[in-house]
């Protein structure tokens, strides 16, 4: 089953010069996001840039959100990941999808106009009624964390 999600193309080059990078038109698992730059952008080691994608989204359903994730190849081979590590797109957001690109590598990397720089997937969000209590019911783990169970 798939859900209708509204997208708005804000850059005339999308669909004309660069294919709109939905993984599929129906029942799509997600969308690649392109760098809608006017000219190539060199990201020096350690540098971060906020890059327009030319697509606005309105998810609408409060039971969903979207996440922007790095592309594996760019991250692994070239050190290009996200400045915010993961981008969360709220269901009521109606603006342009922006990608924070961070060069965590040791060498400069040039991003070309139209290049696919990140990917977006939709995720279900569980709505919770947070309840503040003074004590939790005991659990096996309790408050142990951060390696509490050992390495092997
Ligand atoms: O990588 C991202 C992350 C966020 N957004 C947009 C959609 C999101 O709904 C909005 C706000 O994001 P977030 O709530 O993470 O930002 P914030 O820094 O907490 O600011 P705000 O006060 O706007 O909530 O910015 C992007 O376009 N790209």
Cα–Cα nearest to 67, from 113, 30, 17? 30
Question: How far is the centre of ligand 1, averaged over its atoms, from the C-alpha of 139 (Å)?
Answer: 35
Question: For residue 151, what pLDDT is reported?
Answer: 87
Residues 55-106: pLDDT tens digits?
999 999 999 999 999 999 999 999 999 999 999 999 999 999 999 999 999 9
Cα–Cα–Cα angle for 23, 28, 29, nearest 5°? 85
Question: How far is the centre of ligand 1, averaged over its atoms, from the C-alpha of 88 (Å)?
Answer: 6
Question: For residue 27, what pLDDT is reported?
Answer: 77
Question: For residue 24, what pLDDT is reported?
Answer: 64
Domain chopping of the chain, boundaries: 6-124
Question: For residue 104, what pLDDT is reported?
Answer: 98
List Cα–Cα distances, 149 to 8, 138, 139, 144, in angstroms: 48, 18, 15, 8
Residue whose CA is at the smallest distance from ligand 1 atom 8: 89
List Cα–Cα distances, 7 to 16, 53, 85, 101, in angstroms: 16, 12, 23, 22
Average pLDDT over residues 3-24: 88
Residues with CB under 6 A from ligand 1: 68, 84, 87-90, 93, 97-98, 100
Residues 15-43: pLDDT tens digits?
899 998 776 667 788 899 999 999 999 99
Residue whose CA is at the smallest distance from ligand 1 atom 28: 98
* pTM exceeding the 0.90 threshold for the entire prediction: yes
HSE at residue 79, side-chain half, CA atoms within 13 A, is 14
Say if residue 111's pLDDT is above 80. Answer: yes
Distance CA 140, CA 61 (A): 36
Query: Tokens 């000219």 map to which residue?
Result: 39
CATH number belonging to domain 6-124 = 2.70.40.10
Distance CA 64, CA 89 (A): 9
Per DSSP, the three-state class of 74 is: helix
Distance CA 22, CA 64 (A): 18
């Amino acid at each position: 089953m798939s859900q209708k999600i509204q997208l708005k193309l804000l850059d005339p080059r999308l669909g004309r010069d660069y294919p709109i990078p939905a993984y599929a038109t129906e029942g799509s698992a997600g969308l690649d996001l392109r760098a809608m730059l006017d000219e190539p952008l060199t990201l020096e080691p350690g540098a971060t840039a906020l890059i327009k994608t030319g697509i606005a989204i309105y998810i609408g359903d409060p039971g969903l959100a979207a996440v922007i994730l790095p592309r594996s190849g760019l991250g692994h081979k070239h050190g290009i990941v996200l400045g915010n590590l993961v981008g969360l797109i709220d269901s009521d957001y109606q603006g342009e999808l922006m990608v924070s690109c961070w060069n965590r590598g040791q060498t400069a990397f040039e991003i070309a106009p139209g290049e696919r720089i990140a990917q977006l997937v939709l995720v279900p969000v569980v709505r919770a009624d947070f309840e503040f209590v003074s004590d939790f019911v005991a659990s096996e783990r309790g408050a142990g964390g951060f390696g509490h169970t050992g390495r092997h």
